[in-house]
Amino acid sequence: MGVVASAPAKIILFGEHFVVYGEPAIVLAIDKRAYAEAEQRNDKRLCLRSVNLNLAGYFENGTFKIEQGDAKEAKSKFEPIKLAVAKVLEKHGENVGLNIQINSTVPVAAGLGSSAAVVAAVTAAVGALLNVKMSKEDVFRTTYESEKIVHGTPSGIDPAISTFGGTLLFQMDTGFKPLEVKADIPLVIGDTGVERSTRAQVEKVRSIKEKYPQIVEPVMLAAREIVLRAIDALKENDLETLGELMNINHALLYGVGVSDESLEWLVNAARKAGALGAKLTGAGGGGCMIALTKNEELERVFEAIQRVGGKPFMARKTDEGVKIERT
Ligand code: PMV
């Protein structure tokens, strides 16, 4: 039996897209986690297996061999993991072979940060297995660096929230700040099942912003005001206000073109079923929406999302970032 570590997924509660232009965003770790188990091998192979994706393969002497599933998919999913493991091994000072098994409860490619959660969990598990001292800061850096190599220039939101957990205020020029949150924030998350590209969605907003600067700038200011008010509402456990702010935030995102039919069905169904507020989360154009819901309405909102074709699941904020589950 090896060492097991886990790390949480995330949702963006407020401020996606506008964050790209320097506005603040609020990000929340949710109680859907990725688990990684690491054990040492007698040879130098790095063997990776994803139970939930049905993928397996190994890296040896710089080449990748597939053992289960689609080779291209496996390589793209395993590449950031390999990079993170290499960084831990560098700290360890010796190259050792490893078996790593991943088991994630986070839907993939839905904007919930599943990739960062997996990499953070693997980094912590391998560090603990080899007795390499990895502070949370080290896990964050390692996860961020390997995501950067694979995905270009991400904001760092996903690795930060997977590592530190809780609720973070993020702004491009000032970075991350933990937020005090009294509220429990019961959510129903609805996955449209529609795949989207974050890059294409960000481009869409850029072109609208360039075409209509005088219109989009006040929208950005409104988005900032929403985040500022949400900070107070989170502190005061004011779920009604948070719900209203989510609805307004969704309208702004709709205005800059990043909602789509699949999201609108789910958002409207959730509101009709009694959600306090609902909005898309992340890049939009498919992916996931979130509905803030009183505990007694959770079931109704869940069913309403399901009825219109979404894949719902319930989630709550978690304060637990990356952690060792078993040594
Ligand atoms: O759906 P995600 O997790 O890829 O969200 C992207 C969030 C954006 O604000 C649209 C882009 C970014 O880099 O912050």
- Cβ(20) to ligand 1 under 6 A? yes
Q: Which of 288, 320, 298, 289 is nearest to 33 (CA)?
A: 320
The pLDDT value recorded for residue 196 is 85
Which part of the chain has CATH 3.30.230.10? 3-179
Place of tokens 């307004």: 248
155 Cα to the center of ligand 1, angstroms: 8
Q: Could you tell me the CA-to-CA distances from 64 to 46, 53, 114, 147, 293 in Å, in that order?
A: 9, 17, 22, 19, 45
Which superfamily does 187-315 belong to?
GHMP kinase, C-terminal domain (3.30.70.890)
Parts of the chain with a pLDDT under 70: 151-154
18 Cα to the center of ligand 1, angstroms: 10
State phi, psi for 249 to the nearest 5 degrees: -60, -40
Give the closest residue (by CA) to ligand 1 atom 11: 17
DSSP symbol at 107: P
Tens digits of residue pLDDT in 50-69: 999 999 999 998 899 999 99
DSSP 212-231: -HHHHHHHHHHHHHHHHHHH
**What CATH number has the domain spanning 3-179?**
3.30.230.10
The pLDDT value recorded for residue 50 is 97
Looking from the CA of residue 17, the nearest atom of ligand 1 is 9
Tens digits of residue pLDDT in 186-235: 999 999 999 888 889 999 999 999 999 999 999 999 999 999 999 999 99
Which part of the chain has CATH 3.30.70.890? 187-315
- Cβ(8) to ligand 1 under 6 A? no
133 Cα to the center of ligand 1, angstroms: 31
Distance separating alpha carbons of residues 108 and 129, to the nearest angstrom? 26
Q: Name the residues annotated as catalytic.
A: 158
The pLDDT value recorded for residue 266 is 98
Looking from the CA of residue 205, the nearest atom of ligand 1 is 10
